[in-house]
Structure 1
């Protein structure tokens, strides 16, 4: 783990900020990214689907025909009722499946009632199917739509596109599971860092830690607040409000720091009652009906109750110069390259490069258009700007902890 002004400035020097690149710099950035992206099976699969589609213009033409036939079907005199019938058929099918499963595991005395309900739904399903058939026969637009859809499905199957898309879905599902596991692992690592590094910073190595707790996933019944960690000191009397010593935001990706920073600035304004910097209707819930933090709230963890009030956040103050909350707002993240846009924006860029059938990276005009689009994804404040803020106030840079990969 590293931190401090020198380390943050090193990360800033090594940044490749997409917001400031020209076309040539962007071309170089893409050339560096592609080898890494191509290690991702999902990127490779998407690119393979793109090339398959490019190689078969008849597929694109048929998809265009299908879009037109869909619009014609929806605009036809029978279109609205056909959609209603289809939706009711879907609901009826789910009810039949649910009742069938319930019947298998139900007690004998409950079976007659379940059978009667099942029979009623089955009768309704038959009626809907007859109506659907009659409406289809009366609608040339629907019959044309069914013909084109069947032709498109057969072509997709013959080209292997259905199989390729199913494989991509499976890859994404597996990646999602792995990402969830990795997230949990990093959160545990961050929790240990808070105890081993931040607690000594705030209370001293010989300080009294008996009443300290690190709370996780704190929401307090408010909207727009899901705090990764709060380091708090318990009061001497259990029903009194706690004292918040630090708010810790945990981000696996360095480029996501600014998103967390922006949200926590708004949250801290809400916790401290600075109504100029948050929109009360967005914070209105059943518990906080006014949209303000105007009453005590409770967080429960490990069998303990922790009471919070506005006074719990009295240690948080805006910095005189930048006018933002920095003191006691900590970040824990991982080593990486600052790109000037968030991880989700980078994911969108990677997705477009893999899937855009019209994109020709050899074309300067296409590259310029792609660069403009990438730069449009940036927020007014991104991770490099946030790190510069922390470097601008003495001592604050130590509040960003960067873990080696």
Structure 2
């Protein structure tokens, strides 16, 4: 049945959205942000602005009898100059918690990025529509997970029956912060990023502050974590500090302590899990920065290489092995005063044997199968009966 203009249009408001920390009114509608305005004002980095406005983990949630739904959106699609075209962002539909549909939205704005120079070009495009029809009769809870890797302005929600907010289900809130892998880079869809998969297995409500290229121990991010209500918190730190060659070992340890101290100001006893980087062979022993491989770009492929020198470790440059050792040391040091702080070695989620079987396609980011592997392993360790996020491990 086609959607028509006489169907019900419901204003998109905060009570119909989950996973966003801020909502910005735009010319076209509502733009979800994963960092609050105060945090965004403290950093002009375009990479961070792009990452936090991509709604990884953000979903439109409502209760309805509708059998057909249309969500009008204005996406902004990334194009990397010289690289293969990226697929359109995916919208996942859940009905009463179960997968029930998947679609994309054509059109939208285009942001072209030149990886060699960092230059960008923005071209405006038309609004599109994500449609879901043939849904089951009767009252049901709907979740539309927005594309994890595509900035999405919400324009209108149209249905063939009224909608209402879903009452609080009493599920624990899991607040996670990490890099592009946590953000969902190269996952198949928004519900199959590794944090989304782990949240589903753990029956928790996810707030995903995975920020591609931007997990850099920024104080404003720590304050955002501090000020966000949550029952469970995890921080996956390290790889972006190597990617960007941002700091040396002397600064890294105190920065981690300060980040943890700030988070603890708002969540003094909540289970807090510090996760070190997954295996990334190009940076295990070689510092950053990470740069696009020009030879691969010349072949129309995107691949990264390490531009550092292993000899620079002596001067305090960071590698993943150095970071894992330092994070484990920091957790052990703080254990006496913070018994609810735990450490998870990223190699337990993706290590050498996994890399031999499921190599990183671009040398930095996992594919869809690896996202599933990491999500399952994280859930098995964190949400196990003896894990740091075991049911009942909510301390505020």
Fold-level match, TM-score > 0.5?
no
TM-score range normalised by the length of the shorter chain? under 0.3
Higher alpha-carbon Rg: 1
Question: How does the TM-score come out when normalised to structure 1?
Answer: 0.21
Q: Going by fraction, where is strand more abundant, 1 or 2?
A: 2
Q: Going by fraction, where is helix more abundant, 1 or 2?
A: 1
